[in-house]
Amino acid sequence: MNLPNRMTFGIFLGPFHKVGENPTLAFRRDLELIEWLDHLGYDEAWIGEHHSAGWEIISSPELFIAASAERTTHIKLGTGVVSLPYHHPFMVANRMVQLDHMTRGRVLFGVGPGALPTDAYMMGIEPTSQRPKMDEALGIILRLFTEDEPITYKSDWFELNEALLQIRPYQTPYMPLAVASIQSPSGVALAGKHGASVLTITVPRDPSEGKAEYSKLWEIAEESAREHGKVVRREDWRLTVPVHIAETTKQARDEVRAGAIDFLRGYTEGTNGREPVFNGPDDQLVDWMADNGYWIVGSPEDC
């Protein structure tokens, strides 16, 4: 297997802002962050979509990407992700094609079923229907990107009547596609079905479950791709993990300690309701997470 000469680096910007922060200033700081990433030579930035819980305040990654594109020149900008069950597929396809042209091919199309149960609840969406709806919507969107004939299609949650996009994507045949997966086989299998890359969002696991075996997840994506006559490329696989580097390991861990405690205790365990992976004192949390491979925090040599 031939791999690229270097790794591709980017960020996954939920974003995560402590509840109660000034949202106007938070949006401004997030845009400035993208500018700095572009200046520093980062390859990609993936922007999330969320509608509840107060931490992740970007509700439209497409709007944020449009604003970011005007402030940058090189960095690629991805939806991380569009929660497809929340939107009519025709509207998603139209917005992504418009962004593809406005960014001159710098947009990436990440999709998912929706992460927060409270988002789906507020819109009256049955949680068990989200992944099938995502699969159905993605299939239609890819047809809209590529087919020349109008599409008529009736679903139990959307309808198309002789639908045809006015313009084609800037990139051929369409922008790079990624499916979100939180360390589960269903996401990678769906990615393989549609010939998409995988955006793996790592989350702390209960130690009793053992470490995540990512290579086996990728094998599922490859097997699914073969079954559906598609091809997936391992070099396009994105893995997200919390990273902070400083001149020394002590400096790196001290710099993130307060924020990391808020993030893990407040967001991961509080808002998301996940079981604690570390029940010891908070002042030991960063060291434990880094030493056990959940986070990468330290000096360049140690990391």
pLDDT in tens, the chain (303 residues): 566 678 899 999 999 998 899 999 999 999 999 999 999 999 999 999 999 999 999 999 999 999 999 999 999 999 999 999 999 999 999 999 999 999 999 999 999 999 999 999 999 999 999 999 999 999 999 999 999 999 999 999 999 999 999 999 999 999 999 999 987 899 999 999 999 999 998 877 666 666 667 889 999 999 999 999 999 999 999 999 999 999 999 999 999 998 998 888 888 888 777 788 888 999 999 999 999 888 999 999 998
Same domain, 162 and 266: no
Last residue of a domain, one of 175, 200, 227: 175
Same domain, 269 and 170: no
- Is residue 101 within 8 Å of 170, Cβ to Cβ? yes
Tokens 């497409």 sit on residue: 62
Q: Does residue 279 form part of some domain?
A: yes
Same domain, 170 and 22: yes
Q: Does residue 140 form part of some domain?
A: yes
Last residue of a domain, one of 153, 175, 197: 175
Q: Does residue 201 form part of some domain?
A: no
Q: Does residue 209 form part of some domain?
A: no
- Angle 80-215-11 from CA coordinates, rounded to 5°: 25
Q: Does residue 214 form part of some domain?
A: no
pLDDT value at position 2? Answer: 65
pLDDT value at position 275? Answer: 81
Same domain, 142 and 250: no
Q: What is the CATH number of the domain that holds 66?
A: 3.20.20.30
Write the single-letter amino acid at 120.
A
Q: Does residue 167 form part of some domain?
A: yes
Last residue of a domain, one of 138, 155, 175: 175
pLDDT value at position 99? Answer: 99
Same domain, 169 and 68: yes
Q: Does residue 212 form part of some domain?
A: no
- Taking the C-alpha atoms of residue 69 and residue 81, their distance in angstroms, rounded to an integer, is 17
Count of domains forming the chain: 2
Same domain, 46 and 139: yes
| Residue 275 lies in domain | 243-303
Same domain, 171 and 247: no
Q: 130-146 and 185-193 helices cross at what angle (nearest 10)?
A: 20
b or e along 78-94 (b: 16 or more beta carbons within 10 Å of the residue's beta carbon)?
Answer: bbbbbbbbbbebbebbb
Same domain, 24 and 168: yes
Q: 48: how many CB neighbours lie within 10 A of its CB? A: 25
Q: Does residue 232 form part of some domain?
A: no
